[in-house]
Structure 1
Amino acid sequence: MENNQERIIKQAHFADNLSRYWLTPLTIILILSIVGIPLLLLWLPLGSYFIQRYINNMSTELTSKKLVVRKGIFTRTENTVPLDKITDMALIQGPLMRFFKLHKLTIETAGQSGNGALLSLTGIVDVEEFRSLVLEQKEKLNQAKPSNNQDENNDASVISILQQISATLERIEANTNHNKND
């Protein structure tokens, strides 16, 4: 789905140990609960299979104008985020993530509804480089936009017209009040 104006700048890759990271929390809970230990016999093979399928279906690409994220097993989702709408890209690394040497990249946009990040990507290889590329491309897009002088001139003319309308309405109101008093 690439057109002549958009080129793929970077295709993100995900860390090999991402599936182990996602398996670990429930594995720890099952071990600590003691009664969950027999469930480990189901969780480890099934969890590994579905998590790996999920990771294989994940893709993230940076184009010259947008960030495209695809993921899901049963319900596939594709999020397309225009670069000029991105307001924040945070890197998060909790204790378990530090152990696995992973980061979570969260992406927030202007106008998004709800709390939290619009997108959350865990386990991108060289996440700092990927984040820098996204921010660099966003900056290039902002610099390439036409100047706002024409917008400022349009704003000034709109304000002038609104002031004229306001003055006309005040004159009409004054005439109406004057005629009522006569």
Structure 2
Amino acid sequence: MEIRQETSIKQAEFASNLGQYWLTPFAIILTLSVVGIPLLLLWLPIGSIFTRRYIDNMSTELTDRKLIVRKGIFTRTENSVPLDKITDMALIQGPLMRVFKLHKLTIETAGQSGAGALLNLTGIINAADFRSLVLKQKEKLSQIDPVAQQDENNEANVVSLLQEISDTLKRIESNSKN
């Protein structure tokens, strides 16, 4: 059986202002509370360091067969989502996202457990184009797969037929000895 190497199609890039977007809601809450203003002086430099490290560890890659998402600082996670399992990809842009000119791309799959999206990708540059590219590759894959599936079925049928022939020959051989 042949092991096929996957081809990378697109490596997503993340917006440079994504860290600012993540820091802003908490900074607004701290600013509105009088007690939070001193904490804001700690939050901004420490939060900036952690969000920068987190963003540096994020990557999203589209291959010819799956979408691979890596992220995390302390606990690194990697999700590989087969393109044929993707059921929905939504683009979301809330009010604060509009200010920062960012989008969130949510990915839902067949068979996922729980409510909500399996993956949330916030801050991909040209998120709409990336979404279109993923959906186009998914469509291309669905047109190719029936042929590959038919080949696998034919291969299984040949193996089954050979097994039947082998069993029949063994029965004939055992009957001729009796």
TM range (shorter): 0.7 to 0.9
Aligned to 2:109: 109
1:84 and 2:84 aligned: yes
Counterparts of 1:146 and 1:88, CA distance in 2:
21
**Higher deviation after alignment, 140-149 or 72-81:** 140-149
1:47 and 2:59 aligned: no
Counterparts of 1:27 and 1:77, CA distance in 2:
27
Aligned to 2:33: 33
Aligned to 1:141: 141
Aligned to 1:60: 60
TM-score normalised by structure 2 residue count:
0.80
What are the Cα deviations for residues 27-77 of structure 1, in whole angstroms up to 9, with x where unaligned?
Answer: 000000111000011100000000000000000000000000000000000
Counterparts of 1:68 and 1:28, CA distance in 2:
33
Counterparts of 1:4 and 1:51, CA distance in 2:
37
TM-score normalised by structure 1 residue count:
0.79
> Could you tell me which amino acid in structure 2 is paired with residue 146 of structure 1?
P
Secondary structure class of the residue paired with 2:74: coil
- How big is the alpha-carbon RMSD for the aligned residues of Structure 1 and Structure 2? 1.7
Secondary structure class of the residue paired with 2:79: strand
Number of residue pairs matched by the alignment:
149
Secondary structure class of the residue paired with 2:106: strand
Secondary structure class of the residue paired with 1:145: helix
Aligned to 2:71: 71
**Higher deviation after alignment, 79-88 or 141-150:** 141-150
Counterparts of 2:54 and 2:74, CA distance in 1:
9
Please say which structure displays the higher CA radius of gyration.
1
**Structure 1 residues without counterparts, runs of 5 or longer:** 152-182
